[in-house]
Amino acid sequence: MKQLVQFCLSVVVGSTLVFAAAQSARAQDEAISSVRRLPTNVYAYLSVRNTTELKEKFNASLSGQMLNHPDLATVRESIVEVIQGKSEEFEEKLGASLEEFLSIPQGEITVAVVQPPGKPIAPVAMIDFGDKGDVVNTVLEKITEGMQEKGIERSTEEYEGNEIISLKEDVAEGQAQPTDFDLAYCIKDSYLIIGKGIDVVQTVLARWDGEHDSTLMSNDVFRYLVKKCSGEGETSPSLITWYLDPIGLVQVLAASNPQMGMVVGFLPLTGLSNLKAVGGTVSMGEGDFDSVSRTLFYMEQPTTGLLKVFNFPPDSQVPPAWVPKNATSYFAVNWGIDKAYRSIEMLVDTFRGPGALTMVLDQLSEAQFNGDVHLKDDVIDLLTGKIRVVSDMPDVDDPEHTRSLFAMEVKNGEDAKAVLAKIANMEGFPVETREYRGETLYEITIPAGMAAQFNPGQAGGGGEEQLIGIAIVKDHLMIGMDVTMLEQVILGDADAGQLSDSAAYQSIAKYFPAETSTVTFTKTDADVKTAYEFIKSGNSGFAFGEAFDDIDFSQLPDFETIAKFLPPRGSYMVPDEQGYFLQSFTPKKSEAP
């Protein structure tokens, strides 16, 4: 009997658990996201899937841990006091405190630019406010009252059992033309739907049950993009999803603008009409990554015209031996320069006639000021298409002094040196020549006041002259924005080590595919240190504005306190059957507290 009772209890408990799991799964399935409530014609889209989860994941991230560090408590509390000081003014205008207002989003937030069927494009937003309905109603009433005091007329309209509030400018007969102010909103379930005009709100309400045949989720381009940008093994959808149809947006705006209409007519000839979308996702705490973003450049195949210029075949992007171990950033791209040139040539010849570009370049090479240098034969044909940009910080105690080097690989170093000598000898070319360790250095002096534009990483640059160095070194045309960095490459200090061998680079490179179109490596701590020290030294007004003038940022801890939360980050781009896929990421750092 005892065994029979236990068996019956097991059946009951098991059945209950199965039923509960089924109910939970059903509730999850019944959750309808914004992609099923928006029409097919969406030109811009940004959605945070769950604001509560986003806050939780951010607080658990390295950035969240850094901002909540005890050593930042004093400055953090000062900032909160400043914000609270503004809250009273905020509450007077909106009827709710700033804290109450910021607590409104409880689930999904979506903002989009859409085109309701047969109507002009319009922005629309959907905000899941959860149990904050009272705060939402208070804010809406306060805003409506303020609008009515300014001559905005309030009206209501019923649509499928839903009340839509419309706010439009009330213009009496004989008055000037009304403005374009047209706002409508509706409360549906736990969502606030707000947009420009009643039409766009109705368009969303018509799809509220998620069963409509024509939604953003039925857009093939959008579906492909979301699938491609969803990480392998993700246990839940990405926290943030975004999408942009730039050419479609231009085309629909041009419908009401004759001048833009002329531009749109040329898009097919340039090939830009094949750019169908750009979009992606952002996730936090996914797998090995503290944060990761994925982006897809969706191009209808085959590409033509200008889009063929963006030709980046995959190849090995391991940093060459001359890139020093102490480099704070490294960027490499493999550009199909030959195909890019042919695409430009074809486009120019389409508009100007066969051979037009060749004739122009021939004429330029014969001109007296051009030094008998042919742009195609002497320059473009010498380049392999591999381009590298390297930065470093020679003195860690002087973060404002950063250096950068731009390098383009050449097919033949000796031929490249001959072409560079021709260019340097052109009449009026402001260059000085000197020999350094067996290499010819060409130097250009940048006047004071312009230096920061040529070396943006050097905060405070521009107060002194800067010497730019140019040379053909190690089969690269190198341009050192600070000539001392070029000298260091020429010197070839073997003891300095190579970036590719450093632990920091390898911690990022292990996530790179064997062949890529581009790669980026950045030492985040070095990237942030300049700005951090700048603010800590009393330049908060420049960084944040007058509102934070009373905060003593000198109380910020030493940079080493937050540096542990700033591990290196990286990115890579690879070809996709529909364009190019880009992934940017920051790995988790287990040793961070």
Which amino acid is located at 476 in the chain? H
Beta bridge partners of 185: 165, 194
Confidence at residue 455, expressed as pLDDT on a 0 to 100 scale:
54
Which amino acid is located at 24 in the chain? S
Residues 300 and 495: their CA atoms lie apart, in Å, by 49
End-to-end Cα separation, the chain, in angstroms = 56
Q: How many other CB atoms are found less than 10 A from the CB of residue 266?
A: 12
CA distances from 362 to 46, 372, 428, 543 (A): 49, 10, 21, 50
Residues 321 and 323: their CA atoms lie apart, in Å, by 6
Which amino acid is located at 211 in the chain? E
Confidence at residue 483, expressed as pLDDT on a 0 to 100 scale:
93
Give the number of residues written for the chain: 593
Residues 252 and 342: their CA atoms lie apart, in Å, by 31
Tokens of 536: 């800590």
Q: Which of 461, 444, 320 lies closest to 402 in space, CA to CA?
A: 461
Name every residue whose Cβ is closer than 8 Å to that of residue 37 and which is 6 or more positions away in sequence. Answer: 126, 204, 207, 208, 210, 215
Look-up of token digits 């809406």: 140
Residue 465 backbone dihedrals phi, psi, to 5 degrees: -65, 155
Check if the beta carbon of residue 334 is closer than 8 Å to that of residue 517.
yes
Confidence at residue 540, expressed as pLDDT on a 0 to 100 scale:
54
Confidence at residue 454, expressed as pLDDT on a 0 to 100 scale:
52
Confidence at residue 365, expressed as pLDDT on a 0 to 100 scale:
83
Q: How many other CB atoms are found less than 10 A from the CB of residue 442?
A: 20
Tokens of 437: 């360790």
Q: pTM of the predicted model, to two decimals?
A: 0.86
Look-up of token digits 């980026």: 520
Confidence at residue 592, expressed as pLDDT on a 0 to 100 scale:
40
Interior angle at CA 509, CA 506 and CA 511, nearest 5 = 125
Beta bridge partners of 436: 439
- For the chain, what is the radius of gyration of the CA atoms? 30
DSSP 8-class letter at 477? E
Check if the beta carbon of residue 252 is closer than 8 Å to that of residue 548.
no
Sequence-ordered alpha helix ranges (H) in 501-553 = 503-509, 524-536, 540-544
Cβ burial, residue 109 (10 Å; 0-12/13-18/19+):
buried
In the three-class reduction of DSSP (H, G, I as helix; E, B as strand; rest coil), residue 214 is classed as coil
Beta bridge partners of 434: 441
Tell how far CA 117 is from the center of its chain: 31
- Four-residue CA torsion sign, 52, 53, 57, 63: negative
Residues 167 and 197: their CA atoms lie apart, in Å, by 8
pLDDT tens, position by position, for the chain (593 residues)? 333 333 333 433 333 333 333 333 333 334 789 999 999 999 999 999 999 999 999 999 999 999 999 999 988 888 888 887 777 778 888 888 888 888 899 999 999 999 988 888 999 999 999 999 999 999 999 989 888 888 889 999 999 999 999 998 765 554 544 557 889 999 999 999 999 999 999 999 999 999 999 999 999 999 999 999 987 655 457 899 999 999 999 888 887 676 666 667 777 778 888 999 999 999 999 889 999 999 999 999 988 888 889 999 999 999 999 999 999 999 999 999 999 999 999 989 888 899 999 999 888 888 756 668 889 999 999 999 999 999 998 876 676 678 999 999 999 999 999 999 998 888 778 889 999 999 999 999 887 655 555 554 444 444 577 899 999 999 999 999 999 999 999 988 766 789 999 999 999 999 999 999 999 999 999 889 888 888 888 665 545 556 666 788 888 999 999 999 999 999 999 999 999 999 999 999 754 44
